């Protein structure tokens, strides 16, 4: 006879789980006790939110779930933001929470919370393990569910008594039945119809979402776009799925998107949307988006098709499988019809870049800081962000060369994601440089987790876009609330150099771009941790272009002294 929790650890070892993230507490002590002689390493975070965001990033990098283990009550409730974040961005992870013994259930015992009830709306699935012999089969099922189809977080609640009961190892062999809905084989008639729409379109455009990464469909996306000669536009998560230096990739569209990407959508008559839930942030205004455009929507999640935008053709299936079939059915010799349109879009990009290089010449401009960082960070390095203007600047100006290397909190927009996400990514890939592009507000939400940098030697590069304000909200106050600025400026911020020092990390406040370039180059070369505090002027830090919430892409607010026509003049425009 063996404690259920010892059998669980043995099973995790068999499943090649090499580490867990978490924080200990009373009701999860048996689990940690069982780790005592195991091969599994524990990363002790300094806040449960940090542990779960780190697990989220780890899952995005490794495409398999990290397990986060915390205690009941506050330990468990501290996970809720992270669960919602992982759910929104379809990131796999397993959260294990200690729970009071089953005999105390519902009696408001010390540190009892109904975490299964609280987390249900923000998880892919939950399990409450009341029978000790279920513990191992439930873990196996949770692992499978987290990566099945569209990935997501799964929570397992472990009452203390169930963890401790001795059981016969033979009783844990059974499997829990989970009702997986296998995506249907792509329907050839729908694919043929979609192809017909694409091939007869005046100006087809592809919209790529995060599902393309999970499906591993980057090559198929690029092949189809090349065959048809159509531009590729992305969502914020989709930015991670295609290389920005591909000539057909126009970047993200929407609230803080690229003008050439917005223009592509504005002028499209057919949109091939792949692995996206059609966020309001990407298309702005659903009614305008639908007007005069035929939408082909491919998604593995049946409930996404028709949820926000009713498509002309909805194809439920794995993006890679559907696009592969599309490629097979594609006629071989196609006339390249859309070159003039692509040239026009790239012309918008060039004039915007030219404009940018002429302005913002004094002090640090966020977009220029990103350019310098991009030059010195190797193409395969992983970049994560906080949430705010710095993230939106990154959406606009961070060039992703290798798909899978840009990790951001897109759906939930969780400030504080950056530091733990960087730690999780570096734990996943210690050989790869990891950069966190952070805001001073976001940084302060989870900075206690910096303690892990020295404790476990996790050398990450953190740049703080330090404007002493909650800039993105300040920006909205200026633009949308008549400059009534309230509750955004930090009149007293901590000295981030001293914070760095306190955590045993080198801190640098560069005075110019060269200094910035040199310190980051050195950190990459030496694989060393560094916190770079870049002073940004809040009076100038407005992320433009900007499409206000709910507005159509054509209602974009341009940067000062810059304007382009986003309506395509037609193939004869002379471009």
Ligand X SMILES: Cc1ncc(C[n+]2csc(CCOP(=O)(O)OP(=O)(O)O)c2C)c(N)n1
Choosing among ligand X, other proteins, none, which partner's interface includes residue 413 (Cβ < 5 to 8 Å by kind)? ligand X
> Whose Cβ is closer to other proteins: residue 180's or residue 358's?
180
Q: Could you give the string, one character per residue 176-195, with x where binding to other proteins holds by CB under 8 A and - elsewhere?
A: xxxxxx--------------
Which position among 27, 99, 414, 446 is part of the footprint of ligand X (CB under 6 A)? Answer: 414
The label of the residue with tokens 């593995």 reads 300
Q: How far is the CB of 98 from other proteins (least distance, A)?
A: 17
Specify the stretch interacting with other proteins by CB under 8 A; choose among 2-10, 116-124, 246-254, 563-571: 116-124
CB 210 within 8 A of CB 238: yes
> Whose Cβ is closer to other proteins: residue 46's or residue 302's?
302
Specify the stretch interacting with other proteins by CB under 8 A; choose among 174-182, 204-212, 379-387, 508-516: 174-182
| Binding flag, residue 440, ligand X (CB under 6 A) | yes
> Whose Cβ is closer to ligand X: residue 97's or residue 389's?
389
The length of the chain is 575
Please tell me the distance from the alpha carbon of residue 8 to that of residue 322, in angstroms, as a whole number.
Answer: 38
- C-alpha distances (whole Å) from 296 to each of 90, 230, 359, 529 are 22, 14, 40, 45
Q: Could you give the string, one character per residue 119-138, with x where binding to other proteins holds by CB under 8 A and - elsewhere?
A: -xx--xxxxxxx---x---x
| Binding flag, residue 465, ligand X (CB under 6 A) | yes
Laid out side by side, the sheet with 93-99 consists of: 41-44, 19-22, 66-70, 93-99, 153-159, 125-128
Give me 352's structure tokens. Answer: 């915007």
Q: Quick count: other Cβ atoms within 10 Å of Cβ 182?
A: 8
Choosing among ligand X, other proteins, none, which partner's interface includes residue 138 (Cβ < 5 to 8 Å by kind)? other proteins
For other proteins, the binding residues in 139-168 under the rule CB under 8 A are 145
Contacts with ligand X: how many residues (CB under 6 A)? Answer: 20
| Binding flag, residue 246, other proteins (CB under 8 A) | no
| Binding flag, residue 60, ligand X (CB under 6 A) | no
Please tell me the distance from the alpha carbon of residue 291 to that of residue 285, in angstroms, as a whole number.
Answer: 10
For other proteins, the binding residues in 373-432 under the rule CB under 8 A are none
Please tell me the distance from the alpha carbon of residue 223 to that of residue 219, in angstroms, as a whole number.
Answer: 6
Q: How far is the CB of 417 from ligand X (least distance, A)?
A: 9
Closest CA to 32 of 91, 93, 98: 98
Dihedral of alpha carbons 493, 495, 500, 502, sign: negative
Give me 95's structure tokens. Answer: 């959260």
Q: How far is the CB of 289 from other proteins (least distance, A)?
A: 17
Angle at 414 between CA 63 and CA 271, to 5 degrees: 65
| Binding flag, residue 67, ligand X (CB under 6 A) | no
- Supply the DSSP symbol for 205: E
Give me 446's structure tokens. Answer: 């989870």
> Whose Cβ is closer to other proteins: residue 309's or residue 471's?
309
Q: How far is the CB of 150 from other proteins (least distance, A)?
A: 8
Please tell me the distance from the alpha carbon of residue 28 to that of residue 45, in angstroms, as a whole number.
Answer: 15
Query: Site residues (CB under 8 A) for other proteins?
Result: 116-117, 120-121, 124-130, 134, 138, 145, 176-181, 301-303, 306-307, 310
């Amino acid at each position: 006879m063996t404690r259920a929790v010892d059998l669980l650890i043995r099973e995790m070892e068999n499943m090649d789980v090499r580490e867990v993230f978490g924080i200990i507490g009373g009701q999860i002590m048996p689990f940690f006790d069982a780790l005592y002689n195991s091969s599994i390493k524990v990363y002790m975070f300094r806040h449960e939110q940090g542990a779960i965001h780190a697990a989220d990033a780890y899952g995005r990098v490794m495409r398999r779930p990290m397990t986060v283990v915390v205690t009941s009550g506050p330990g468990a409730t501290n996970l809720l933001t992270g669960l919602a974040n992982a759910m929104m961005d379809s990131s796999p992870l397993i959260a294990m929470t200690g729970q009071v013994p089953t005999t105390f259930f519902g009696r408001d015992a010390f540190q009892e919370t109904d975490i299964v009830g609280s987390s249900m709306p923000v998880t892919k699935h939950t399990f409450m393990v009341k029978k000790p012999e279920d513990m191992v089969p439930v873990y196996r099922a949770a692992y499978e569910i987290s990566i099945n189809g569209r990935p997501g977080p799964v929570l397992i609640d472990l009452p203390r008594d169930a963890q401790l009961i001795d059981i016969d190892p033979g009783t844990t062999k059974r499997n829990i039945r989970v009702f997986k809905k296998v995506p249907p084989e792509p329907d050839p008639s729908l694919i043929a119809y979609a192809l017909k729409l694409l091939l007869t379109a005046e100006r087809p455009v592809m919209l790529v979402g995060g599902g393309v990464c999970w499906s591993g469909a980057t090559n198929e996306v690029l092949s189809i776009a090349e065959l048809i000669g159509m531009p590729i536009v992305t969502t914020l998560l989709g930015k991670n799925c295609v290389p920005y230096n591909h000539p057909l990739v126009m970047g993200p569209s929407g609230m803080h998107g690229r003008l050439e990407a917005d223009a592509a959508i504005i002028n499209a008559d057919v949109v091939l949307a792949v692995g996206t839930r059609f966020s309001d942030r990407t298309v702005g205004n659903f009614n305008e988006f639908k007007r005069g455009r035929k939408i082909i929507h491919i998604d593995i999640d049946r409930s996404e098709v028709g949820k926000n935008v009713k498509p002309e053709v909805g194809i439920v299936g794995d993006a890679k499988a559907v696009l592969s079939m599309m490629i097979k059915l594609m006629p071989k010799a196609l006339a390249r019809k859309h070159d003039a349109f692509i040239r026009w879009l790239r012309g918008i990009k060039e004039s915007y870049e030219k404009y940018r290089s002429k302005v913002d010449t004094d002090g640090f401009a966020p977009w220029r800081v990103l350019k310098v960082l991009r030059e010195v960070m190797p193409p395969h390095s992983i970049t994560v962000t906080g949430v705010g203007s710095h993230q939106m600047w990154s959406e606009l100006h961070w060039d992703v060369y290798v798909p899978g290397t840009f990790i951001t909190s897109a759906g939930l927009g969780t400030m504080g994601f950056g530091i733990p996400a960087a730690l999780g990514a570096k734990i996943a890939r210690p050989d790869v440089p990891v950069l966190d592009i952070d805001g001073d507000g976001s940084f302060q939400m989870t900075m206690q987790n910096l303690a892990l940098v020295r404790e476990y030697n996790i050398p990450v590069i953190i740049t703080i876009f330090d404007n002493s304000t909650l800039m993105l909200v300040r920006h909205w106050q200026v633009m949308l609330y008549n400059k009534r600025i309230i509750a955004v400026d930090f009149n007293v911020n901590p000295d981030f150099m001293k914070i760095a020092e306190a955590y045993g990390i080198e801190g640098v406040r560069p005075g110019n771009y060269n200094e910035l370039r040199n310190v980051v180059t050195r950190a990459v070369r030496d694989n060393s941790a560094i916190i770079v505090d870049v002073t940004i002027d809040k009076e100038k830090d407005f992320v433009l272009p900007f499409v206000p919430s709910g507005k159509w892409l054509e209602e974009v607010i341009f940067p000062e002294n810059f304007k382009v026509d986003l309506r395509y003049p037609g193939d004869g425009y002379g471009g």
